[in-house]
C-alpha cells in the first residue's frame, strides 16, 4: 500500500509560518499609560484635559500623525510629541505589564516552529522598553516600529516590512496578524495577511467588524487554537 493518509482521516491543519502581533493593547496592557500621556500632553499644551474618547480612535496610529490632529500647527505637534514621550519615559515602567497569557502564547507558538513578530506604531526606544517590561524579548524574532517605516499603520508598510524581514513575501495566507485596533486590521488585510481581532483592547466589536477580520479572539490563549484553514 502507498504511504498516503488513510481515506476518511482528516489531514492535520497546516500551521502558520509566522504570527505578527500589535504591541499596545494586544500583548502589552498599556492603554491606561497611553491615556495618561495624552491627558498630560493636552493639559501642558492646551491648558485642559480633553475627553479620552477623542484619543481612543487614534490608538494604533503613529504618535506624530495623531498629534497633528490635535495641534494648531506643525511646530506645536512636534512639541506635543516631545512632551508625550518625556512623560511616557517617566511613568512607563510602573504602568506597563503584559496581558495574561502573553508569554505563554508566544512560547507555545515558538514550540510549534512558528516565527513571531511585533508590528507597532510605537517608536523603537519605547517598544524595546515595553517588550522588556513584559518579559517577551527572548520570544520575538522580528520587531517593526514606527521608526522603521515611512508610513505607519493603517498603511500596510509595517506589515510588509515584517514579511520581508521574515523572508515571507507572497506567503500572506500563512501569516497571521493579531491586533486590537481597526488600524491593525486594515494594515494586515492591505498587507495580504490573515487578521485576528483581539477583543480585550479599547475598541468595540462593532468598531472592528467594519474591517472584516478573518478571526475573532477573546484572549491571547485563543490565538494558539487558530490555523490557516480554520477561518
**Band of pLDDT at residue 13, cut at 50, 70 and 90:** low
In a domain, 22, yes or no: yes
**Band of pLDDT at residue 9, cut at 50, 70 and 90:** very low
pLDDT greater than 60 at residue 1: no
**Band of pLDDT at residue 231, cut at 50, 70 and 90:** low
Query: What CATH number does the domain containing 54 carry?
Result: 1.10.150
User: Whole-angstrom Cα distance, residue 161 to residue 222?
Assistant: 26
Q: Environment class of residue 27 by beta-carbon count within 10 Å: exposed (0-12), middle (13-18) or buried (19+)?
A: buried
pLDDT in tens, 106-123: 999 999 999 999 999 999
Residue predicted with more confidence, 10 or 183: 183
Domain boundary among 68, 95, 122: 95
- Containing domain of residue 51, as a range? 31-95
pLDDT in tens, 29-42: 999 999 999 999 99
Write the CB contacts of 29 (distance below 8 Å, at least 6 apart in sequence).
96, 97, 98, 99
Report the chain's mean pLDDT, rounded to a whole number: 93
The reported pLDDT for the residue numbered 52 is 96
* Mean pLDDT, residues 119-136: 97
Strands (E), 29-125: 115-119
Q: Which residue has the cell 506567503?
A: 171
Phi/psi for 117 (5° steps) reads: -140, 155
> Is residue 69 annotated as part of the catalytic site, yes or no?
no
Q: Which of 15, 22, 52, 147 is catalytic?
A: 22
Query: What CATH number does the domain containing 165 carry?
Result: 3.40.50.1000
In the β-sheet with 194-198, what is the strand arrangement from edge to edge? 142-144, 115-119, 18-21, 175-179, 194-198, 215-217
* Mean pLDDT, residues 124-134: 97
Question: 0.75 cut: is pTM over it?
Answer: yes
Q: Which residue has the cell 481515506?
A: 7
Cβ contact 118:143 at 8 Å: yes
CB neighbours of residue 22 within 10 Å: 29
Secondary structure of the chain: what % helix, strand, coil (to 5)? 45, 15, 40
User: Whole-angstrom Cα distance, residue 138 to residue 72?
Assistant: 42
In a domain, 104, yes or no: yes
Do 107 and 215 fall into the same domain? yes
CA 83 to chain centre: 23
For the chain, the domain total comes to 2
Do 81 and 148 fall into the same domain? no
Residue 8 zone, left/alpha/beta (φ > 0; ψ -120 to 50; rest): left
* Mean pLDDT, residues 114-136: 97
Cβ contact 30:95 at 8 Å: yes
Amino acid at each position: 500500500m502507498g504511504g498516503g493518509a488513510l481515506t476518511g482521516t482528516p489531514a492535520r491543519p497546516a500551521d502558520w509560518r509566522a504570527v505578527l502581533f500589535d504591541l499596545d493593547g494586544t500583548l502589552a496592557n498599556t492603554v491606561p499609560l497611553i491615556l495618561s500621556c495624552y491627558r498630560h500632553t493636552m493639559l501642558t499644551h492646551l491648558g485642559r484635559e480633553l475627553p479620552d474618547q477623542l484619543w481612543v480612535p487614534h490608538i494604533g496610529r503613529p504618535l506624530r500623525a495623531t498629534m497633528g490632529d490635535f495641534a494648531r500647527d506643525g511646530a506645536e505637534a512636534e512639541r506635543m510629541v516631545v512632551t508625550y514621550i518625556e512623560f511616557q519615559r517617566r511613568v512607563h515602567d510602573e504602568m506597563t505589564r503584559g496581558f495574561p497569557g502573553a508569554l505563554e502564547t508566544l512560547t507555545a507558538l515558538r514550540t510549534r516552529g512558528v516565527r513571531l513578530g511585533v508590528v507597532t506604531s510605537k517608536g523603537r526606544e519605547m517598544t524595546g522598553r515595553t517588550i522588556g517590561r513584559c518579559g517577551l524579548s527572548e520570544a520575538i524574532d522580528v520587531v517593526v516600529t514606527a521608526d522603521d517605516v515611512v508610513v505607519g499603520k493603517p498603511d500596510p508598510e509595517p506589515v510588509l516590512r515584517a514579511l520581508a524581514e521574515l523572508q515571507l513575501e507572497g506567503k500572506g495566507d500563512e501569516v497571521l496578524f493579531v491586533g486590537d485596533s481597526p488600524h491593525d486590521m486594515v494594515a494586515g488585510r492591505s498587507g495580504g495577511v490573515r487578521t485576528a481581532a483581539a477583543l480585550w483592547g479599547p475598541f468595540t466589536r462593532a468598531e472592528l467588524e467594519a474591517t472584516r477580520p478573518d478571526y475573532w479572539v477573546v484572549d491571547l490563549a485563543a490565538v494558539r487554537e487558530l490555523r490557516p484553514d480554520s477561518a
